[in-house]
Amino acid sequence: MDEQIRSIRTDPIESVIEAFADGELVVLLDHPSREGEADLILAAEFATGEKLNLMATVARGLIALAITGQRLAELGIPMIEPVNCAENWPQFAQPADYTIGTTTGASAFDLAATARAFTDPQARPEHFARPGHLLPLREDASGITGRAGHTEGAVGLARLAGLYPAAVICEMMAPDGTMASGKALKTIISENNFPATTVQEIAEASAQLI
């Protein structure tokens, strides 16, 4: 798995930031010593039903929302207490549905509406039903320096792009149901012309701004 992930070509971080700021889907590679996997990510404020449907059909994995703890607190969305989890486990919050202009909350269009609502300063706690269908992932309090995971990388990329610090993320699976890596991951990236970067490259770019 390590060599398979390392073999994936990445793009200059400047071009990835530009693409992300323009609302494009970007592939985010994890460090091989951690999960050694890839997520397809999209700035939450640019979420649309069409883009989330593309994420669901191309990446195939779990769709979640990477977001800051401050925003979760503002919306009164509690964390899910971990049980039997590893120390570096993602910090899951209670799933939610935006209730204005949506139906069941499960469609790609409803999920997109919920993701956008998380970034809307006019959205209030009473506008969200819980439990719902969009699973928030809380960014580590220290950001990417505290936990170099997909959650922190996605939020960090949003900051680098000058966007609201929230991103829709979808774990990437191969057509056979295994996590995408190596040739399968390269095929998905090349067939869809997705820009690709790594959590490490986002961390390095973020450190230059400090």
Whether the predicted pLDDT of 53 surpasses 50 = yes
Integer Cα distance of 74 and 124 in angstroms: 8
Q: What is the pLDDT of residue 71?
A: 98
- The mean per-residue pLDDT over the stretch 46-58 comes to 98
User: 122: domain range?
Assistant: 2-81+90-207
- Where residue 31 falls among pLDDT bands split at 50, 70, 90? low
Kindly report the average pLDDT of the chain as a whole number. Answer: 93
CATH number assigned to the domain comprising residue 49 = 3.90.870.10
Interval 109-165: pLDDT, tens? 999 999 999 999 999 999 999 999 999 999 999 899 889 899 999 999 999 999 999
Q: pLDDT tens digits for 151-208?
A: 999 999 999 999 999 999 999 999 999 999 989 999 999 999 999 999 999 999 999 8
Region 15-26: mean pLDDT is: 98
The count of domains in the chain is 1
pTM, full prediction: 0.93
Task: Give the whole-number percent of the chain exceeding pLDDT 90.
Answer: 84
